[in-house]
Amino acid sequence: MGGAVEPDSRSFIAALRGVANLAEKERGKQAETGLVKVESLRRVMEVEATSKLGDITALDAFLASALVDSYAKCGSLEDARRVASKMEPRHSIASLNALVSGYAENGKPRLAVELYRWIRESYPELLDVRTMLAGLKACGSLAALETVREIHAEISRAGVLSLSSSSSSRSPTSSSSSSSSSDGGALATSLIDAYGRCPHAQLCPLELPGIISRGPKGLQSPE
């Protein structure tokens, strides 16, 4: 009989997705840093220990992103930050997106917004639909109208949505390959939700015609 087959990154990613699903059902325990899904966290650590062959930077971007997302869903933002911060940003935008979402979902919206802005200022070419969705999620928690406006303008520049009556006549931008109907729908919904949570949102000069019909601290340890 042959030797045992070594699991590859896809196997580890599948395992992490399974743990993340379990974490959503686990009640968890309250800690100083927030609600921690202890049993699920233990399993994620086991997967990382098995998959990590030496330096964490050897992990591929998809596995790193899955680890960040899983740690965040278990309530361990410190571990999520640790994994994301050791990856080269240019090769791990998915990990950073997962960390932005993790901060927003675990009661750290200010860190989420700060990390979003760091990505936008340091690596503007890396911004994608998921980055914008993660940023909008954080803005909704903070009722941060100015940041919602910034992300709205970023979406407009990227051509992900038709944000004005004239934009539909323009040629697609180079980033239009990522603007599928599902992406556009998700962004439209997130924009409406984020604006709706902001005081005086009706005063925003950026409108959403066709979408609605009516009026780097983030990489530091979370506090």
Q: Is the per-residue pLDDT at 137 higher than 70?
A: yes
Residue 74, pLDDT score: 95
Answer yes or no: is pLDDT of 69 > 90.
Answer: yes
Residue 161 has pLDDT above 70, yes or no: no
Q: Is the pLDDT of residue 175 over 60?
A: no
> What per-residue confidence (pLDDT) applies to 10?
86
Residues 6 or more apart whose Cβ sits within 8 Å of residue 92: 61, 64, 65, 84
Q: Domain residue spans in the chain?
A: 12-107, 127-215
Average pLDDT, the chain: 77
Q: What is the pLDDT of residue 166?
A: 37
Q: How confident is the model at residue 125 (pLDDT cuts 50, 70, 90)?
A: confident
Q: Taking Cα atoms as reference points, which of 180, 202, 178 lies closest to residue 192?
A: 202
Please tell me the pTM assigned to this model: 0.76
**In the numeric block, which tokens belong to residue 168?**
């539909």
